[in-house]
Each structure stands twice: as structure tokens, then as C-alpha cells.
Amino acid sequence: MNTKIQKRKLGNSGLEVSAIGLGCMGMSFGYGPAADKKEMISLIRKAVEQGVTFFDTAEVYGPYTNEELVGEALAPFRNEVVIATKFGFNIQDGKMTGVDSRPEHIKKVVEESLKRLGTDVIDLYYQHRVDPNVPIEDVAGTVKDLISEGKVKYFGLSEAGASTIRRAHAVQPVAALQSEYSLWTRQHETEIIPTIEELGIGLVAFSPLGKGFLAGKIDENTKFAEGDIRNILPRYTEEARVANKALLDLLSQFAAKRNATPAQIALAWVLAQKPWIVPIPGTTKLHRLTENIGAASIELTEQELKEIEAASAHITITGNRYTEAMEKSTGL
């Protein structure tokens, strides 16, 4: 077993994690029926054995069941790992009913997350989505209080805009921004990445494999389970899958040269962009976990990065990453 994944620092906060983390959402939520709990506990523990120290969950995944799963799986290793979870949705009768980052709501749900995770401190606590009805200063101030009370170590934001990040950071330093970033989702390069670089904030890249597409095993004939979010995503229509094969072909060419897989090249590309970016691919399969972790030891050369950049510049990605309604409300 390779238990030595190199570590990365998420910006200037002092928060250090394995260069590749594990996104746990899909074990309980978002991609069809939840996976078997015992198998997922085993998978999370295998990740620890293979050197992963960074695990991502949220109260809304399930809802609630994913935090319980992650807490149980990591209990034996609690002091060796970093657990990130998120607040900011209102959950009624097991359904997400919009955002809620009112200070009193945050203070209530942090206690519930601590309990489900079976821990006395949350390492990284993200606002899951910006709440337009609550000033971000109030949110940052509330998390600042939780940090001073010892319930939270670091504050994070997810999918926030540049001015929101600046305003929050002025009240309580933001350790990490979690946003979607991959070879086929690059809109954050224009404004967000320069902003967080300037402020010394790390980037946690979710969906670094494009919700699975960049791993190369999904084509226009793939059928997704009922309840799988990809059934409704514009980028996953059959037509889009055919069009987007061009990016996969490019990854496959580089993978062949490096004796790697397309997924590993896609992850290595994310890692190569900045030393403070940490991708958190999710999986429910042990062979995929091992494959993803293997990407941490692939260092793309300057020349390879230039070639990927030049070739991908000619590829137009078909389909938005979310439906219009999801972009407006929550996304995932």
C-alpha cells in the first residue's frame, strides 16, 4: 500500500491535507440509490490506509446519512484526518427547501453535525451555498464565534463569487473555497482563482472528473440509475456526451503516453494548476479510489501542460454543467 500521498497546504491558513481528498457525497446521495453502508465504511478506511487525510461531506447529503457514515468510518482515525462538512440549507421532512445561513440556524445545525460526525470539532466548515438574504459578514462572524468556541477549526465557502469571498475573508479568514473545477469546467480561472490566490485561500476542486465523464467509462449509451443527478444535467444529454468525447480522446492520448488512465491525467492536470488546489473526486469503488490516488504521483511536465492547453482550446464543451433552475438555486 502506498501510504505516502504528498500533502498540500490550502492557502496560507495552515490547513494541510493529502493532495487528493475523497468526496463522500455519492456514497449516500446524488447518484441513484445509496451504496451499502458497510462497504462504504470499508472504502473510507481503505482511503485512510492509502494515505488520504481529507474527507468531504455535508448535512444535506442524504440528508444527514452521509455525515453519520463519514463519522463512523473515521472514528478510529479521527486525529489523523481532516473532516470537512457544510451548512446553509434548510431541510424540511428530509428535503432541501432552499438556503438558510441565518446565524441562529448555523448555531443550531453545527451542533447536529458534530453529533452525527461523532466529533467535538469540525476541521473545515463551509457555507454550502451563499444565502442572498443574509449578509456574508454575519455568516463569517458566526463561524468566527464557533472557531473561538472550539467547535470549528477553519472556515470555508462553496461556489461563492469574488466580492463575497473578499467580504467574508475580511471578517474571518477563509481557509478554502470549494468550487467545481476540472478540464471541462474552467470558468473560475478568470476571476475566482486570481482572487483566492491574492488572499491566500486554497481551492478544493469538486467534480474534478466532471461527475465521472472524464474517467472515460461513460458514453452516449450509458444509462444512469433513477435519482442520478446526471439524468437531468445538460452536459449529460446523449448529444452532449457524443460531442464531449473530443476531450476524452485528448485525455486518452496523454494517458497512453504516461501509462496512466484518463482519470489520472484529468486529476494530475488539476493538481498542476496551482500548489494549493486539492481535488476531491468521489467514488464508491475501491479500484477507482486507488486509481484516483495514483494521480498524485503523476507530475505533468510544462510541455505536456502546454500541449493539453493548446489542444483543449480547440474543444468546445457542449451543455451547461447544471440546469438553469439549479444554477439559480443550489447546484451540488
pLDDT per residue over 248-265, tens digit each? 999 999 999 999 999 999
Q: At residue 153, does pLDDT exceed 90?
A: yes
Distance CA(139)–CA(86), nearest Å, equals: 13
Distance CA(89)–CA(73), nearest Å, equals: 24
Beta bridge partners of 244: none
pLDDT at 332: 44
Q: What letters, b where the CB count within 10 A reaches 16 and e where it falls short, cover 162-197?
A: bebbbbbbebbbbbbbbbbbbbbbeebeeebbebbe
Distance CA(4)–CA(139), nearest Å, equals: 36
Helices 302-312, 245-258: inter-axial angle, 10-degree rounding: 160
Question: How do beta strands 95-99 and 89-92 pair?
Answer: antiparallel
The CATH fold of domain 7-211+273-298 = TIM Barrel (3.20.20)
Q: At residue 135, does pLDDT exceed 80?
A: yes
Q: At residue 161, does pLDDT exceed 60?
A: yes
The average confidence (pLDDT) of the chain is 96
Out of 31, 61, 181, 322, pick the active-site residue: 61
**Cell of residue 47, nine digits:** 482511503
Beta bridge partners of 174: 155
Dump pLDDT digits (tens) for 13-40. Answer: 999 999 999 999 999 999 999 999 999 9
**What is the rounded average pLDDT of the residues 295-323?**
96
Mark whether 61 is an active-site residue: yes
pLDDT band at 4 (very low <50, low <70, confident <90, very high): confident
Helix-strand-coil split of the chain, %, nearest 5: 45, 20, 35
In whole angstroms, what separates CA 270 from the centre of its chain? 12
Question: How do beta strands 54-56 and 22-23 pair?
Answer: parallel
Contact 261, 209 (CB under 8 A): no
